[in-house]
Every structure is written in structure tokens, then in C-alpha cells.
A and B are shown apart, each in its own frame.
Chain A
Amino acid sequence: MSEHLTEIIVFTVLFLVVSGMGFFAARWRRPTDLASLNEWGLGGRSFGAWITWFLIGGDLYTAYTFVAVPALLFGAGAAGFFAVPYTVITYPIVFLIMIRLWSVSHVHSLVTPADFVRVRFGSPTLALLVAITGIVATMPYIALQLVGIEAVLKTMGVSGSGLLTDLPLIIAFVILAAYTYQSGLRAPALIAFVKDILIYLVILVAIIYIPARLGGWSQIFGDATAKFAATPAPGDGTLLNANNQLQYVTLALGSALALFLYPHSVTGVLASRNRDVIKRNMSALPAYSLLLALIALLGYMAISAKIKPIGTDVNTVVPQLFDQMFPDWFAGVAFAAVGIGALVPAAIMSIAAANLFTRNIYREYINRDPTDAQEAGVSKVTSLVVKIGAVLFILFIDPQFSIDLQLIGGVIILQTLPSVAIGLFTRWFHKGGLIAGWVAGMGAGILMLYNVANPATKHEHFGGSAFALAKLGLDTKMTIYAGFLALAVNLIVALLGTLLFRALKVADGPDGTAPEHYTADEGDPRIKDLNLSGST
């Protein structure tokens, strides 16, 4: 433990400074009253371009990404680099989609994607399905942020053995829970500044300093190629092979489509001040992808530096690399960057999940006409429950299980695409068709994932997202992203279902939106304001 003392001190000091900022955030851009979801859950819907850039960047590029993507390259090579094309194609795809979601949410004072589905399709059932999908997909994602912190703590030798093993992790999350409860979305927005500055600093140093010590990039790629050539596994290598190219492309595309369906991404977008902020950010956010590409290559640096993961936990390779390469004090800064990097998304995700519960379950089924203060109160308590759930997940269940669940999360959140993303452009689908499509896509997706084995982790089921086309009777060794296939099933069933329900003249829900609501901007009147004028 003593050999890591400098690292631990630097880590702890930075962590405490950031926690202080989290509590202070309640006073930052102080509203007259924090007791509403607009304020607590969306930061007053007032964030400008810079804050939004840091907030969404901190939200999407998580601590888990920073340890898991290099770990993928470390283990499998080129296939792990899918994260780069994924984060390139997502912004042009959502460029025109998110501004429409922002506008309609502005006009109708919507807080969650399920709120939109409720208004657009007039179906509480469909909205409930979207809300539950969002919550279930987000929960393991929060737990994974803890995996990121845990990898750092393990490397510092803090989480050793004995009863107190997980105490540092619990303390970190209690602090996080407390300031999220108090400050809402303002806390991660303020902390995101520090997180990003630390991460950029660490990565810039890492990509200059580490290759120089290892003998240059040619040497690093050479070592990686040699390592993969020596392993018996057929799928690895520093280039793709004939069988995993389709998987690479469909995984990148499927993940790109899923990214902005996640409730926490929507929260970040809805918190921005106007459409211009979102459009500007969609062109500025890829700067983070550049960072991600460089971070991914840390996996190869770890191969070149002959890093061994702690136990079987490959997520420790990046912290181990920092520990071995950097002077102690800078390794401490790097660890703090990862640790704080976990706090920002964990806070936003818990807020997003809490908002889904409040708006689409509590408000719909428990208290139909809550006051703003009641809504904010329910969300605050739910955000605590969600975080406690995430901690229990990590403490009592194998972390591998969270990773599997997160994999499922990506596949299931994709099943809300027809209702949420396509729903922003057309009201053609019948609500019954969309529900049938959701059920079919969900079933197909989970069934496919169940049938993916992973010999490396000795998993018979849920071993990855690469589904072998041979299992469908095709004579090929090619694999495809299960989520992509599930989405295709979903869309086909939604289409056929819509035609069927129309033919049977089954009543459809009312559409509460009008075409001009999708292009409304800051300063345009809101329905709520018109409706409540005089009473507020």
C-alpha cells in the first residue's frame, strides 16, 4: 500500500475538491427555486454551447469507456476499435433528430423520451414500455461506472481483501449520491469541466510520453501484431478478418443509433438552451472521438509494455499501464481523471432514470396531478434508490454480470428507435404496431444474445453481441451485431402490425403534437405557459 501512497494522496485530494464543487453547484446559476424537474432534472433548460459540450461529452464518454475500450483492443485487437466509427457516425445521424426532440419537448415541457411517446402516440402503455426499457438499460450502465472506479482502486492497492474491501467505493458513491440529490443536473455539469480538463491532460501526456518510452508507434503496432499472431484465437489481430467485418460495421451503426436513445443522452440534450446549441454541439462533440481513438490505442501500448491485468480483470490494464509508466504523482492525477470521469455519467444517468420513473410511472399511475415540487422530490429520492441499486449490484453480483447486462442494454434501448426516433418524423405507425414491434424486437434480441457463447470468459450465454449467422442456417462464418438484427425484426413487425391494425380499424391514440412543434425554438410560446397564464 505504501508504494502507492503518493498516488492515493493525489487521487483523494482531487476527488474531494470535485466533490466540494458538486455541493457548490446548487448555487451555480442559481434558480429562484430548485424544486421542479425543469431545474433539478434539466438544469433550468438553460445550458449554452460550452456547458452542453462538457456535459454531453462527460455523459457519453464515460470512465467505463476509458478503461473498457483499451481493454478490448488489448484482448481482441482491431474489433475493439469499432468505438471510433461508432462515435463518428452518431453525430451526423442525430444532427437533425435531436433538434426536433428538443423543440417538441420545449413546447410541451417534456422531460424524458417516454414523455414524447406519450404525447405523440397517446398511449400510456407504449410510453411505459419505453420508460422501462430506458430504466433497465441505464441501471447496469451506472453499475459499470463503478467498475471503472474499482479498476483504479485495485491498481492503487486500496481495495485489497477483508471486510473493508469495498469501503472506498461505497464512500465515493455516497458522496456522489449526496450532491446529486442536492444539486441535480447542475452538479455533473459543473464537475464535467474538471473531469474533461484532467482527461485531456492525461491523454495528451500519455500519447506523447508512453510511445516515446516504448520505442515509437511502429514498435507498439508491431508488438501488438506479434501478440495476436501468437494466440490461437482466430478472431483477433490488428486488422479485421473476413468474418468480423460485418459485425464491426453493424455494431458501429447499431451503437450509433442507440446512443441518443439512452435517457441520459436525452437529458443532456434537453438541458441545452436552444436548437443552435445542439446543432453546434453535434459538430463539436466529435473532438471527444479523437480523444477516444487515442485512448483506445492505450490497449496496444499496454501490450507493448507487457502489462499483466490484475487477476482476470482486463479492465485494470489501463490503470496498470499508468502505474508502471508515469511518475507516482501523475499516475495519481490519471487515476483521479478516471474516478471523476465515472461520477459525471453516473450522476446524469441516475437523474435520467429517476426522471423516467417520476414522469412515466409515478405521474401516470400513482399521482396523476403532482405539483412541481412533488415531481422533483420523487425524482431526488429515486436517484438515491437507483444509485444504491447500482452499488448493491457491484457488491453482491459478479461485475461480469453488469457487463453482460450493459450489452443487453444496448440491444434493448435500440428497440425504442421506431417509437422515439422515427416517431419524431412520422406518425404513420399505429401504436399497436409499435408495441408489437417492441415485443418482437426485444424477444429476438434477447434470444440471440442468449445464444452467443464466449469461450474466453467461459460464458455459454450472453458472451458478446456478435451473433453467428450460421445459427440462422446460413452457410457462413460471418457474425452480425444482434441489436441490428433485432431492430430489423422490430421494424418489420411494427410495419405489418400497423397495416393489420389499420385493416381491422383498431382505434389509434390521439397525436398531441402539431408539425410546427418540431421546429419551435427558444422564445416560442410553450403550451404550459399559454395554459397556465394568469395562474403563475
Chain B
Amino acid sequence: MDRLLIHASEGSMTTGEPGRARSDRSPWNWLLVLPIVLPLLTFLFNADEPRLLGFPLFYWLQIAFIIVGVGCTTIVYRMTK
């Protein structure tokens, strides 16, 4: 392992095609904040009414957040591909 470390620190390692640096930075990433924050705001969903198909708000809205999560991560994936 040490042998490998020295190898790396010598800088002989090159990544990707020359002249094309890869980066994970993108303004689209901010969209990921939405599905992280929404499910943590209990005041949004901690109620019985309005009901949907017999489900209290607490249950159907949190299930709806799953769809928000899928939506946001899918958009970020597509846009940063």
C-alpha cells in the first residue's frame, strides 16, 4: 500500500482524458436540498385533515414526498449527466 501511496503523491497519476477536467459542481445540485428539507418540517404534515382516499394528511403527504424525492434526484441526474 505504501508503495502505491508514494506512487500517487509523486503525481504520476493522471485522470481522464487530458484537457478535460471532470467536476461534480452544478447549480442543479441545489435542487437536492428540497427533498432533504421537506420531510423534516413536521408542521407541514402533522395533521389528520385534509384526507386523501381515506389517508390522513400525515401519511399521504409523506408518501407524496417520496415522489418529490424521485423527481428532484431524477432531474439532477439528467441535467448533470
Q: Which residues of A contact B (CB under 8 A)?
A: 78, 81, 84-85, 87-89, 91-93, 95-96, 99-100, 107-108, 118-119, 122, 216-221, 238-240, 245, 248-249, 252-253, 276, 279-280, 282-284, 286-287, 289-290, 293, 297, 510, 512-514, 516-521, 524-525, 527-528, 530-531
Task: Report the Cα distance A218→B46, complex, angstroms.
Answer: 17
Contact residues of B between 9 and 34, Cβ < 8 Å to A: 9, 11-16, 21-24, 29, 32-34
B48 and A239 form a contact (CB under 8 A) = yes
A92 and B15 form a contact (CB under 8 A) = no
Contact status of A512 and B5, CB under 8 A, knowing A85-B39, A89-B35: yes
Contact residues of B between 28 and 53, Cβ < 8 Å to A: 29, 32-36, 39-40, 42, 46-48, 51, 53
A119 and B35 form a contact (CB under 8 A) = no
A99 and B24 form a contact (CB under 8 A) = yes
A527 and B70 form a contact (CB under 8 A) = no
Task: Report the Cα distance A519→B23, complex, angstroms.
Answer: 6
Task: Report the Cα distance A531→B5, complex, angstroms.
Answer: 11
B58 and A81 form a contact (CB under 8 A) = yes
A92 and B14 form a contact (CB under 8 A) = no
B46 and A513 form a contact (CB under 8 A) = no
Beyond A118-B1, A527-B7, 12 extra complex contacts between A and B, CB < 8 Å: A81-B62, A84-B63, A84-B65, A85-B40, A88-B39, A88-B68, A99-B24, A245-B46, A279-B81, A290-B63, A512-B5, A516-B15
The prevalent SS among residues of B at the interface is helix
Q: 21 A-B residue contacts at CB 8 Å? A: A81-B62, A84-B62, A85-B39, A88-B62, A88-B65, A91-B35, A92-B34, A95-B32, A95-B73, A218-B51, A218-B54, A219-B54, A240-B58, A253-B40, A279-B77, A284-B70, A514-B11, A516-B21, A516-B22, A524-B16, A528-B4
Pick from A92, A530, A531 the residue with the most CB of B within 10 Å: A92
Inside 8 A of A279's CB, which chain B residues have their CB? Answer: 77, 80-81
The prevalent SS among residues of A at the interface is helix
Inside 8 A of A238's CB, which chain B residues have their CB? Answer: 48, 56, 58
B39 and A521 form a contact (CB under 8 A) = no
Q: Which residues of B contact A (CB under 8 A)?
A: 1, 3-5, 7-9, 11-16, 21-24, 29, 32-36, 39-40, 42, 46-48, 51, 53-56, 58-59, 62-63, 65-66, 68-70, 72-74, 76-77, 80-81
Task: Report the Cα distance A512→B3, complex, angstroms.
Answer: 10
B58 and A78 form a contact (CB under 8 A) = yes
Task: Report the Cα distance A423→B36, complex, angstroms.
Answer: 21
